[in-house]
Chains A and B, each alone.
Chain A
């Protein structure tokens, strides 16, 4: 232990300082955390668990939840891969506490008996189905006839079968809203979630977000992957964090 750390340790023992003080210690000297110089615990743009994704989601779920209060309501999120459908579904699930049932349908779910069974056994006050375009047609008809409120993530518009089953359908197109302002919020939420200690963390500016949107369009997954590499290349370095070249 260096003299500097030994001194800090003695201070802690005598005065019991705030947790923030302890965190600050992690940022001193040669921390083993490669992003501690920016007050970050890890690279913010890596993969997250489902719960973490829901927590950092930039999405106002209140209007959707209001619509789902009424019986016979279905909300479908339509968009290409990487635009934020699953994140929205996870955020809705988290905000509904425990009453919602969530299922992700893998490739070939329409021809996999195991998936049919899992889908058929799905029970909850509200069903959240990701990749809903993979529900086999006969099962889809039976599932929709239950009348349980539905939240669907899909690549294909399912409003016609939903309406035929009596649902009032709300369609949300995911992707067109992924503009620079939204991207900036998403990136800054991730940066805040990776905060190591009380204090500032790097922030993405609107101009930087605009450049990324010009380059990658509305593909948030591609932008996050780019940002991961961009940040990772700066591991252990000092200076201002750069989000673009």
Chain B
């Protein structure tokens, strides 16, 4: 039986295409026998790779040829197809999105030859929809489940004890009590403990590298001392593989940044305590995705550790989308599978830092670049903007605490104070933003070398100081 071999050549094989952009190239057909080709088609598409069941989409098919192919002849057909708009190319850990150009020939009485070539598709002008939180079982479904369970258990009890009215009333009442007890333990008691809470973040639709601001406030009805109040920014890949009883859900935390808002705070009764949240999304090409069996969620979470009770948690789903700002979009983003290196744990500043990845920029290198570019403020702003939000290990000589000042400093949060410091080699003055509960530690450390982690937040042009937030 005759065979034909297909191959694709792109005009620019190394190009990165914007979503919706045309891909041009040629399909080459080499037949080793005379064969009739019903149609030679080419199309662009995407598909998922990884641990989840495959989700895919194909663009419109373009027919390039139909007719007889002669043995030994090699024919080339030019094509032009549009890349699909969404999702764009993504390389995560357990989920990847691969764009491709594929050509296939419909040959009667044989397996249709096919060839596929991967292409790199970057965001275009398309605006993806906002991310939705995964649907929890509806209240109606829960009620049906409850009624079914009641009836089932009542039936079982009746078969043992006969038509006893105590059983018929007792089983549903017992079930109601059980449900109420669960609600009390997992929902109402934690809520009662923390009192009135307000968790807000802006913006909820943002792009990699952008600032995420917000606040969390609580007003307990009695004096409390929770173990901690933490904020976490988490990106999770959720993939479902298999079907039926073989179905399995795989979760992989791609990025997890922990900010400790307070450690064992003493919160008086009927007083509102407010915590400011300021962090930056990592510059990683990992956008919110909702595909069949394959999703990527960005969640901001508040977690209050309650002694002796179930912890209280609240979360907000964020939509991480490609930037519309051409300057931001032009900057190279790290691939999704490298996201973890942007999310070093900032919880314990006294823990010795692990060595940074070989290709990651260090704090000393950053300072070196800034010192060299100090004469050019625009250049410094660009540099600072490029590394802002990256938690970096640093080693600095602690100076004095700034007693006044900071009122005009937009970067300074209400629960922070400024401590001056110096990076010694190369020499560069720093303003460290220290959480109030750690200020005394830094005062005691004045004049000594301190090692820990910090996040560059800005550049004080007037004072010539690099502003670094120390999380605590």
A binds B: yes
CA separation between A49 and B49, bound complex, in Å? 10
Q: Please, which residue of chain A has its CB at the minimum distance from the CB of B335?
A: A34
Contacts A8-B14, A32-B335 supplied; 7 other A-B pairs, CB < 8 Å: A9-B14, A12-B9, A19-B7, A33-B91, A47-B53, A49-B56, A107-B244
Give 18 pairs: A residue, B residue, CB < 8 Å, sorted on A.
Answer: A5-B14, A12-B9, A19-B28, A22-B10, A23-B117, A25-B13, A29-B14, A32-B335, A33-B118, A42-B49, A43-B50, A47-B241, A104-B244, A106-B245, A107-B244, A107-B245, A235-B337, A236-B337
Binding site for A on B (CB under 8 A): 7-10, 12-14, 16, 28, 49-54, 56, 89, 91, 93-94, 96, 98, 117-118, 120, 241, 243-246, 335, 337-338
Contact A32 to B244, CB < 8 A, known contacts A12-B13, A19-B8, A42-B98: no
Cβ-closest chain A residue relative to B332: A30
- In the complex, A104 Cα to B243 Cα: how many Å? 9
The complex places the Cα of A160 from the Cα of B94 at a distance, in Å, of 43
1/0 per position for A4-43, CB-CB distance to B under 8 A? Answer: 0100110010001001001101101100111000000111
Question: Would you give the shortest CB distance from A105 to chain B, in whole angstroms?
Answer: 8
Q: Is A1 an interface residue (CB 8 A)?
A: yes
B118 contacts across to A, CB distance below 8 A: 26, 33, 41, 196
Q: B358 CB to closest chain A CB, in angstroms?
A: 11
- A34 with B91: CB separation less than 8 A: yes
- Min CB–CB distance A177 → chain B (angstroms): 21
Give the docked Cα–Cα distance between A236 and B12 (Å). 23
Please report the C-alpha to C-alpha distance between residue A32 and residue B241 in the assembled complex, in whole angstroms. Answer: 25
Count A interface residues, CB 8 Å.
Answer: 35
Question: Which residues of chain B have C-beta atoms less than 8 A from A28's C-beta?
Answer: 14
Whether B244 lies near A106 (C-beta < 8 A) is: yes
Hey, which chain B residues are within 8 Å of A228, CB to CB? 50-51, 94
**Contact residues in B for A218 (Cβ distance below 8 Å):** none
| Other-chain residue from B12, B53, B243 in contact with A9 (beta carbon distance below 8 A) | B12
The answer to whether B244 touches A131 (Cβ under 8 A) is: yes
Determine the distance from Cα of A1 to Cα of B54 in the docked complex, in whole angstroms.
33
Which residues from 87 to 104 on chain A have a C-beta closer than 8 Å to any C-beta of chain B?
104
Cβ–Cβ contact B337 & A49, under 8 A = no
Provide the bound-state CA to CA distance between A48 and B49, in Å: 8
**B335 to A25, Cβ gap below 8 A?**
no
Q: Which of B7, B12, B52, B241 has the most CB of A within 10 A?
A: B12
Inter-chain CA distance A23–B115, complex, in Å, is: 12
Is A232 an interface residue when CB atoms closer than 8 A count as contact? yes
Contact of A47 with B50 at beta-carbon distance under 8 Å, contacts A34-B91, A41-B118 already known: yes
Measured in the bound complex, the distance between the Cα atoms of B246 and A105 in whole Å is: 11
A19 and B91 in contact (CB under 8 A), knowing A47-B52, A104-B244? no
Complex Cα–Cα for A33 and B124 (A) = 20
Any B CB within 8 A of the CB of A166: no
Q: Which of A185-201 contact B (CB under 8 A)?
A: 196
Contact of A32 among B9, B50, B89 (CB under 8 A): B89
Pick the residue among A9, A46, A81 that contacts B50 (CB under 8 A). Answer: A46
- CB of B45, distance to nearest CB on chain A (Å): 13
For B54, the chain A residues whose CB sits under 8 A away are 47-49
CB distance from B254 to the nearest CB of A (A): 12
Nearest-CB residue, chain B, relative to A105: B244
Distance of A8 Cα from B12 Cα, bound (Å): 10
A26 to B89, CA, bound (A): 15
| A107 neighbours in B (Cβ, 8 Å) | 244-245
Q: Are A1 and B14 in contact (CB under 8 A)?
A: yes
For the complex, give the distance between the alpha carbons of A9 and B12 in Å: 7
Contacts of B10 in A (CB 8 A): 22
Report how far A106 CA is from B245 CA in the complex, Å: 7
Beta-carbon contacts under 8 Å, A108-126 to B: none
Q: A47-B51, A47-B52 are in contact. Are A32 and B337 (CB under 8 A)?
A: no
A32 to B88, CA, bound (A): 12
Minimum C-beta distance from A53 to chain B (A): 10
Q: Are A46 and B49 in contact (CB under 8 A)?
A: yes
